[in-house]
A and B are shown apart, each in its own frame.
Chain A
Amino acid sequence: MRVLLIEDDMSVADFVASELALKGHNCECASSGTEGLLAANSARWDALIVDRMLPKLDGLSVVKSLRDKGDLTPVLILSALGEVDDRVKGLQIGADDYLVKPFSSEELLARLEAIHRRLAPLGADFRTTLEAQGLRLDLISQEVRREGRVISLQPREYRLLEYLMRHAGKIVTRSMLLENVWGYHFDPQTNVIDVHISRLRQKIDRDFDYPLVHTVRGAGYRFGDE
């Protein structure tokens, strides 16, 4: 993946670049809004990571001017601001996701891959079943079978499994699950998501030889093998 990072804090930029490089991505950096906008316009990128507070031209303005020109490159906004409407403002302007500092490298990578896949070939969206490692999820009848055996799931468990399977082999973080499966963005004080995952595991993993839902320490969960 070719990623353009627009970030004025050199330490954060260095961290992001080295983490992306570790995963085999190619990352270039711009340290101001105008420089970033220029770089974004002059080449094709798979994704942009844009800090909100930038010298010369702020991050939101960069995203807005890209979107106004019809540039649909996935954008992840980084921000030190956590105010109520900040996230909404960022998403309204056309960003695909919003991450508040500080973030873990896993969270950043997981979200970056998620927004990148969103623009992947449309064929994926016409699937009527999801299938991986013997687990089959019928998107129309909402029936779940593992090795031919029907598993009965609650609606929320079904959506949790669907989200994990759509991102099979990739890490999904707890806050990604909260945002996408429940539709909320806040800090649940207890590890609510873990409890739901363990319920799901009880149903799809307990009676089988090998588990499908893996815990990734310090990051989140992954469906199936990497």
Chain B
Amino acid sequence: MNSSLLRSWLQTLGLQLVSGLGIALAAMGITLFAVFALVSYTNLHSSLQADVVGRTQFLTEVYYSHGIERLTQIVGRQGFSDDSGRVLYFLEVQGSEADALAPTFAYRDSGAGLVPFVLSNLSSEEQLQRKMFAETKVLDGGVVLTVGRFFQDELDAINYLIGNVALVIAVFWLGAMLTTAIATHRALMGAHRIGTELRAIMQHNLEGRLHPDTASPYVRELVEVGNEMLEYVSISLQGVRSVSDNIAHDLRTPLTRLRNKLTQLKPRVPREHQGTIDELLSDCDDLLASFNALLRISMLEAGSQIRTDAKQVSLRVVIQDVVEMYEPVAHNSGVLLDFQAEYVEQIPGETDLLGQMFANILDNAIKFTPSGGVIGIRLERSGVEKLRVVIADTGIGIPEADRQQVFRRFYRGEPSRGEHKGHGLGLSLVQAIAFYHRATVELQDNHPGLRVVVNFPVSLPKRT
């Protein structure tokens, strides 16, 4: 995973966090708002109702105790608005000289309740459309009393209040979102910084540590844990190294002694047995060669990969040298080496290791290619960030099923046993050296023969 991918992933995570929180907070705000509005409107409704019912009650009592005259005195005949201008009374006396009086107002009776109540001023053209809460009551003697209650002012006041509440909630929500987004961004940038630093440590120097300078206690904890882990990795790595070093020392020293004693023994044994000593020496050397290769593979695999600021090496020159070195060997086997290379960038590398790698690949190719065959060696660019070395022979190839096996230590393919010399570590070493250079090795079919493809990265991910 490269750095930009990590970054976008972290951003996505941050976005998810912020948007999740945003939705939750918004839902809470809307619920709060809805409950507040419902309670406000319900309160208004019941207070209006209580008012209208109370007034109707009072006027009904006036009518029954003091008669129509007193009622008329209070409410007027056709319509009367009290001082506050919020209440309107209508009084009709059915079957009386009511018709003689021109009505100044007309209203539509819609029964009691919170209703759109259209009130028209008949004396002028102007249409007053005002909402009103009204109750109509028919009293004995054909008297119809209507009590209406305007509520626009109260409604406006409540709407204003509710509007402000909505505004406060919205401002609070925005503030919370902004704070969360900033906090999340900071925390994630901390994580991003740790990722970047870890990558740099992995690639350049395993002894490096994360910087603890950060404001967030969580990130600080992460840094501490990360550093502890790096410490642990360093110690285990040193452990592996010192074990290998000790094995090297403990096993090679007695082998040295054995070889030395054999050398010293050789001139002292009868001439007819000297051949045996030579064989023993040769066995000793084979054993040591296997052992050296094994030790080297372990060290390459256990150690850190090559530093990106290591010495730059020309693959072209190394391959050219190895091809030149093996040309007479190939010639003796009747095999042609065909080397073609593009001019490409140098890579950070260890010349001796790269030489060993190409020597092993070429050595195999020559061993398994019959006389008259051709081995093509190509160095070319593949894509923007990769160099590819292809060594393709026309030999016996490796069956697809065996292609992963051949990288295993001491594995030797069926056709190579007995027929050819070798300790079965050649390709393991190739892979270990490739790993050390951050390269990959692929085996492909060359129809017929084997194609060994080594892919080298050119520009390693830069520090951001």
B249 touches A189 (CB 8 A): no
Q: Which of A23-31, A37-45, A64-72, A101-109 contacts B (4 or more CB under 8 A)?
A: A101-109
Decide yes or no: A105 and B260 within 8 Å by CB, A186-B355, A186-B359, A187-B293 being known contacts: yes
Q: Looking across the interface, which residue of chain A has its beta carbon closest to that of B241?
A: A83
- Distance from B59 Cβ to chain A, minimum over Cβ atoms (Å): 109
> Is there a chain A Cβ closer than 8 Å to B325's Cβ?
yes
- Distance from B302 Cβ to chain A, minimum over Cβ atoms (Å): 11
A101 touches B256 (CB 8 A): yes
- Distance from B265 Cβ to chain A, minimum over Cβ atoms (Å): 12
Q: Which of B140-148, B206-214, B228-236, B345-353 contacts A (4 or more CB under 8 A)?
A: B345-353
Decide yes or no: A104 and B355 within 8 Å by CB, A189-B422, A189-B426 being known contacts: no
- Distance from B173 Cβ to chain A, minimum over Cβ atoms (Å): 61
B359 touches A189 (CB 8 A): yes
> Is there a chain B Cβ closer than 8 Å to A11's Cβ?
yes
> Is there a chain B Cβ closer than 8 Å to A203's Cβ?
no
CA distance A38 to B252 in the complex (A): 28
A82 touches B422 (CB 8 A): no
CA distance A102 to B286 in the complex (A): 12
Instruction: Choose among B252, B296, B352, B366 the residue that contacts A184 (Cβ–Cβ < 8 A).
Output: B352
Q: Which of A123-131, A137-145, A161-169, A190-198 contacts B (4 or more CB under 8 A)?
A: A190-198
> Is there a chain A Cβ closer than 8 Å to B114's Cβ?
no
Query: A80 — which chain B residues lie within 8 A by C-beta?
Result: 245, 248-249, 252-253
- Distance from B51 Cβ to chain A, minimum over Cβ atoms (Å): 97
Instruction: Choose among B257, B284, B329, B350 the residue that contacts A190 (Cβ–Cβ < 8 A).
Output: B329
Query: A182 — which chain B residues lie within 8 A by C-beta?
Result: 321, 325
> Is there a chain A Cβ closer than 8 Å to B180's Cβ?
no
Instruction: Choose among A101, A102, A187, A188 the residue that contacts B325 (Cβ–Cβ < 8 A).
Output: A188
Decide yes or no: A190 and B363 within 8 Å by CB, A12-B253, A104-B263 being known contacts: yes
Decide yes or no: A81 and B248 within 8 Å by CB, A12-B260, A184-B355 being known contacts: yes
> Is there a chain A Cβ closer than 8 Å to B326's Cβ?
yes
CA distance A196 to B332 in the complex (A): 11
Q: Looking across the interface, which residue of chain B has its beta carbon closest to that of A83?
A: B299
A102 touches B351 (CB 8 A): no
Q: Looking across the interface, which residue of chain B has its beta carbon closest to that of A193?
A: B325
Q: Looking across the interface, which residue of chain B has its beta carbon closest to that of A15?
A: B260
> Is there a chain B Cβ closer than 8 Å to A117's Cβ?
no
- Distance from A207 Cβ to chain B, minimum over Cβ atoms (Å): 20
Q: Looking across the interface, which residue of chain B has its beta carbon closest to that of A87?
A: B352
Decide yes or no: A186 and B325 within 8 Å by CB, A101-B252, A102-B288, A195-B332 being known contacts: no
CA distance A81 to B245 in the complex (A): 7
Q: Looking across the interface, which residue of chain A has its beta carbon closest to that of B284?
A: A102
A218 touches B278 (CB 8 A): yes
- Distance from B356 Cβ to chain A, minimum over Cβ atoms (Å): 4
Instruction: Choose among A84, A105, A183 the residue that contacts B300 (Cβ–Cβ < 8 A).
Output: A84
Instruction: Choose among A9, A186, A187, A195 the residue that contacts B329 (Cβ–Cβ < 8 A).
Output: A195
B353 touches A84 (CB 8 A): yes
> Is there a chain B Cβ closer than 8 Å to A118's Cβ?
no
> Is there a chain B Cβ closer than 8 Å to A34's Cβ?
no
> Is there a chain B Cβ closer than 8 Å to A156's Cβ?
yes
CA distance A141 to B293 in the complex (A): 42
> Is there a chain B Cβ closer than 8 Å to A2's Cβ?
no
User: Chain A, 95-137, contact with B by CB distance < 8 Å: what is the 0/1 string?
Assistant: 0000011111100000000000000000000000000000000
Q: Looking across the interface, which residue of chain A has its beta carbon closest to that of B293?
A: A187
A102 touches B278 (CB 8 A): no
CA distance A53 to B253 in the complex (A): 12
**Which of chain B's residues 248-262 have a Cβ closer than 8 Å to chain A?**
248-249, 252-253, 255-257, 259-261
B356 touches A102 (CB 8 A): no
A187 touches B356 (CB 8 A): yes
> Is there a chain A Cβ closer than 8 Å to B164's Cβ?
no
Query: A184 — which chain B residues lie within 8 A by C-beta?
Result: 321, 325, 351-352, 355
Query: A82 — which chain B residues lie within 8 A by C-beta?
Result: 248, 292, 295-296
Query: B367 — which chain A residues lie within 8 A by C-beta?
Result: 190
**Which of chain B's residues 294-315 have a Cβ closer than 8 Å to chain A?**
295-296, 299-300, 303
B355 touches A187 (CB 8 A): no
A189 touches B257 (CB 8 A): no
Q: Looking across the interface, which residue of chain B has its beta carbon closest to that of A185?
A: B352
Query: B295 — which chain A residues lie within 8 A by C-beta?
Result: 82
A104 touches B278 (CB 8 A): no
B321 touches A102 (CB 8 A): no
CA distance A11 to B259 in the complex (A): 12
Query: A81 — which chain B residues lie within 8 A by C-beta?
Result: 245, 248-249
> Is there a chain A Cβ closer than 8 Å to B324's Cβ?
yes
CA distance A80 to B251 in the complex (A): 9
**Which of chain B's residues 169-214 have a Cβ closer than 8 Å to chain A?**
none
Instruction: Choose among B263, B293, B350, B363 the residue that contacts A188 (Cβ–Cβ < 8 A).
Output: B363
Decide yes or no: A103 and B325 within 8 Å by CB, A15-B264, A185-B352 being known contacts: no
- Distance from A22 Cβ to chain B, minimum over Cβ atoms (Å): 9
User: Chain A, 70-90, contact with B by CB distance < 8 Å: what is the 0/1 string?
Assistant: 000000000011111000000
A105 touches B263 (CB 8 A): yes
Instruction: Choose among B264, B289, B293, B325 the residue that contacts A192 (Cβ–Cβ < 8 A).
Output: B325
Query: B326 — which chain A residues lie within 8 A by C-beta?
Result: 190, 192
> Is there a chain A Cβ closer than 8 Å to B20's Cβ?
no
CA distance A101 to B48 in the complex (A): 107
A53 touches B249 (CB 8 A): yes
Q: A interface vs B, CB < 8 Å?
A: 9, 11-12, 15, 18, 53, 80-84, 100-105, 156, 182-190, 192, 195-196, 198-199, 218
8 A–B pairs (Cβ distance < 8 Å), ordered by A: A11-B253, A12-B256, A15-B264, A80-B248, A81-B249, A182-B325, A187-B293, A189-B360
Q: B interface vs A, CB < 8 Å?
A: 245, 248-249, 252-253, 255-257, 259-261, 263-264, 278, 281, 284, 288-289, 292-293, 295-296, 299-300, 303, 321, 324-326, 328-329, 332, 350-353, 355-356, 359-360, 363, 366-367, 421-422, 426, 436
Q: Nearest 7 pairs between A and B by C-beta?
A: A102-B256, A186-B356, A15-B260, A195-B328, A184-B355, A80-B249, A189-B363
Besides the known contacts A80-B248, A103-B256, 18 further A-B residue pairs in the complex with CB atoms under 8 A apart:
A15-B264, A53-B249, A81-B248, A84-B300, A100-B292, A102-B259, A105-B260, A182-B321, A183-B351, A184-B355, A186-B353, A190-B363, A190-B367, A192-B325, A192-B329, A195-B328, A195-B332, A196-B325
